[in-house]
Chains A and B, each alone.
Chain A
């Protein structure tokens, strides 16, 4: 039979394995819950169902589409094929201008209407989020 020390060793290895697999499971599960997918307006049109999850949309801010009042900012995101209306309350980054790329994070109400909770800014005016770039290229 095994000695006491060996038994203890096995017990520890067993414990570590359990903890490891538990944390891997935990990480993967919350990864699944917390990733934010990126969609272009065209991809949204082809969706079969409207998901409750947070997503990001990206494209160009359509020219002359910005409307603003005290509480809300409204604008249209376009990939030159499909448009989507965005309503947003919150801080607006400086690089947010018509005719430039934008990424908005929030929830889809339906295929034409998006409620944004965040507009993402980049430090560099020449930079466009890579997602937007490829979304525009695919059109």
Chain B
């Protein structure tokens, strides 16, 4: 029943979209004010999609296995929370979620930009409707979430247990808010380009949307990363896996756009650049969906896939690309009257330089991600690009990036001078000394590490100094930059100070390594609702002679039959202690991995600080001048 409502409601939504387009075109030519009907139909379009989304949630909650999606991804023994999160844990449901957010955002956009010109609003709406209709057709044609099975199976096939995790349950919606937010920027930039409205006013108006999508995208990536940290049991938080890279690319692009919008708002320059970035951000989000959903990528994260779906997104993606190329080259006229006049020592110059660094990082990630696909098609040679590629190409360039970031915030717009900038040098020297002191106490001595640490400390001190000095003029920017420096510092310390012990142990055995003693005391079993747990008891004596009990788990899920290992992580302010155990088939040995990861929590905290900085800027008064 719920499925039926959901399906027809989806159709009604599509119908509404067609009405919206129809009225928009009429309205565009004729009247001076925005037709009320457009607003009403945009609302109904959202309303029907959300009804259909709720219908799917209900089908999942009551375990209605006559629905194919529910049958494939749910099970009666699954906890309620994961039944609900299972709605977007699969392909069909996640697309429906895309559609929910798409329609919601365009409705909010319309009611939130009352003061904008009518034609600009209508054009934005039209471009957005193209995307929405594309997704409607995609959903209904290739991945209908409301397919009916008969006779009705008595039990579902379950959800991959590794996906049954709180962080992962909210990860997709948050990430989609970021992705889809970029679609509004895309439509609005195209509309602005068509009407030659890319200006200070436009920048001020679209800035909110850029910041909101940026915050969601950042949080989404954070959640994914946290999940990978404690669920995959490798103790890392970023693996340069294609699926992760695919979410990093729009983020890099969006961050660049965020800074460029500020320049545009202040100085009315970089107009074409902003348009290009707005288009690219959304294209990269779409491209990410394509790469992930089509199964063209070879990744540790696998998704059920279907070439037909991939083909649809591919064609859709390229239609949008060619449409934007057409608008950008043939309709958009750069009506910029101010010549691009940059003084070498100014805020906008340093932003521009860091833009180029960002573009470079983006190029590295993009090439590293899609090069294997290209090579396989052209030479049918199978390769993978490992983390060293990314690290080698990105880490050295982070150094000037951080330094420009630190200095840039100290400069004025338009023109700045070197007076009273001596403290910059002073801070740099302090950072250098501090770094040398830290590095000296360690065996390792890499040049890049030293310089990078110095640069990160430099940014750190400069931002800390600003907290005391400035009259909260640029508080949000300062907080975000402070968070970023903290992030780089935590990642560096985490890499430098991590230790790891990997061994195979039988029950009762003890191993000694680097003054750390691990005693595998016992295992016991527990029955849970949808899995059986084998819990190990490990007594760990660290280098200071302190004992700690850790209890990693092996979970044997009943439906589908999968074994996963749950890490036990003891977190405190300075270090994470991380242990996983794995069963080796037909053997008495358990494979144990014990890791000490310093400053792990600060990685998460610093990302949250960055997001907080972004949120704060939403509440800041607009610049009056």
Contacts and interface: CB of A to CB of B under 8 A. Distances in A.
Interface stretch (B40-48, B361-369, B611-619): B361-369
Given A70-B509, A70-B511, A71-B504, 18 more contacts: A30-B393, A31-B385, A35-B371, A35-B372, A35-B383, A38-B384, A69-B589, A91-B502, A92-B582, A92-B584, A94-B554, A94-B582, A120-B300, A123-B160, A123-B162, A124-B160, A124-B302, A131-B382
B562 interface: yes
A130 B511 CA distance: 38
Contacts of A97: 585
A68 interface: yes
B392 A68 contact: no
A35 B381 CA distance: 11
Contacts of A113: none
A73 B383 contact: no
Given A34-B392, A123-B301, A91 B384 contact: no
B247 to A, nearest CB: 17
A66 B585 contact: yes
A35 B302 contact: no
Contacts of B364: 27
A112 interface: no
B382 A93 contact: no
Contact of B563 (A36, A68, A94, A127): A94
6 contacts: A34-B388, A36-B385, A91-B580, A94-B583, A129-B298, A134-B382
A13 interface: no
A120 B385 CA distance: 14
Contact of B392 (A30, A38, A70): A30
Contacts of A105: 386
A89 B504 CA distance: 9
Interface string A68-85: 111111000000000000
B586 A66 contact: yes
Interface in A35-82: 35-38, 54, 56, 66, 68-73
B33 to A, nearest CB: 45
A127 B384 CA distance: 18
B389 interface: yes
Interface string A97-123: 110000001000000000000001111
Nearest to B511: A70
A76 to B, nearest CB: 14
Choose among A38, A68, A105, A125 the residue with the greatest number of B CB atoms under 10 Å from its CB.
A68
Contacts of B301: 123
A66 B504 CA distance: 13
- Chain B, interface residues (CB within 8 Å), range: 35 or more
B503 interface: yes
B262 interface: no
Interface residues of A, number: 43
A17 interface: no
Q: State the 10 A-B residue pairs at the shortest beta-carbon distance, nearest first.
A: A34-B389, A38-B382, A92-B591, A91-B593, A35-B383, A97-B585, A94-B563, A127-B302, A124-B302, A68-B589
Contacts of A73: 504, 584, 591
Contacts of A23: 360, 363
B579 to A, nearest CB: 11
Interface string B542-585: 00000000000010000011111100000000000000101111
A92 B393 CA distance: 29
A13 B547 CA distance: 63
B300 A94 contact: no
B233 interface: yes
Choose among B509, B511, B580, B587 the residue with the greatest number of A CB atoms under 10 Å from its CB.
B587
Nearest to B589: A68
B487 to A, nearest CB: 24
Interface in B334-366: 356, 360, 363-364
B383 A37 contact: yes
Nearest to A135: B382
Nearest to A19: B356
Interface string A1-43: 0000000000000000001000100110011011111100000
Contacts of B384: 35-36, 38, 56
Interface of B: 160, 162-163, 232-234, 298, 300-302, 356, 360, 363-364, 367-368, 371-372, 381-386, 388-389, 392-393, 502-505, 509, 511, 554, 560-565, 580, 582-587, 589, 591, 593
Nearest to B388: A34
Interface of A: 19, 23, 26-27, 30-31, 33-38, 54, 56, 66, 68-73, 89-98, 105, 120-125, 127, 129-131, 134
A66 B587 CA distance: 9
Contacts of B392: 30, 34
B584 A66 contact: yes
A91 B234 contact: yes
A14 B356 CA distance: 15
Contacts of A98: 585-586
Contacts of A94: 554, 563-565, 582-583
Contacts of A89: 502
B210 to A, nearest CB: 26
A2 B322 CA distance: 38
Given A23-B360, A124-B160, A70 B583 contact: no
A53 to B, nearest CB: 11
Contacts of A66: 584-587
A6 to B, nearest CB: 13
Contact of B367 (A31, A68, A90, A130): A31
Contacts of A129: 298
A34 B386 contact: yes
A102 B416 CA distance: 59
Nearest to B396: A26
A124 B73 CA distance: 13
A23 B388 CA distance: 17
B389 A91 contact: no
Given A23-B360, A38-B384, A130 B298 contact: yes
Choose among B163, B585, B591 the residue with the greatest number of A CB atoms under 10 Å from its CB.
B585
Contacts of B298: 129-131
B582 to A, nearest CB: 5
A66 B383 CA distance: 27
A26 B367 CA distance: 12
A27 B386 contact: no
Contacts of B233: 91
Contact of B389 (A30, A68, A123): A30
Contacts of B162: 123
Contacts of B585: 66, 96-98
A34 B502 contact: no
A125 B560 contact: yes
Nearest to A97: B585
Contacts of B160: 123-124
B204 to A, nearest CB: 29
